[in-house]
Amino acid sequence: MISLVRTLLDQKPHVEVKYNANGQPFLEAAEYNISITHSGKFVAILLSKDAVPGIDIEQVSEKIARIEDKFMSVDEMNSAKAEGEHKNSHKVVVWTTKEALFKFYGDGNIIFKENLLVEPFKFDGKGVINASIVVKDMHKKFDVHYEKIDDYILTYVLG
């Protein structure tokens, strides 16, 4: 993966991906912020000079229904139920949105269903949704981008 990062940055071999105490990646000896995700056949890296990135990718499957009550608020679950045949894709968008926000925030002291909130949206395969981080030191709204690629959902935020 480091060779991919070096290729993206067109940097010399001294660039290294390191991880802070909360597991958040950062680039040593580079002026970019980085977020990394992988699932199945996909790896995604988001780099930014000016913003803190968060990115996540997950496969759409029935398994998401088994854990939805652990990460989704009642309003978020009701919004997903209204999607009918797209309800699992909708739930994965919510999950990956919260993962991307978690990676952006980087503190680690987050309860997904309480501190990371996704406003109701209609799943369209690709789009921008509104989500918020609500914690003691931050109450901020974000535009979160998502896209369905094959049977995966890729979501990212730049804050």
Name the 3-class secondary structure at 68: helix
pTM for the model: 0.90
- On whether the CB atoms of residues 88 and 108 are closer than 8 A, the answer is no
Nearest to 129 by CA among 109, 153, 149: 153
**pLDDT tens by residue, 62-120:** 999 899 999 999 999 999 999 999 999 999 999 999 999 999 998 878 999 999 999 99
**Using N-to-C axis directions, what is the helix angle for 64-71 and 87-105, rounded to 10°?**
50
Any idea which fold 53-158 has?
Ribosomal Protein L22; Chain A (3.90.470)
pLDDT score recorded for residue 3: 58
- On whether the CB atoms of residues 53 and 104 are closer than 8 A, the answer is yes
What φ, ψ does residue 96 adopt, rounded to 5°? Answer: -70, -30
- Where in the chain are all domains bearing CATH 3.90.470.20? 53-158
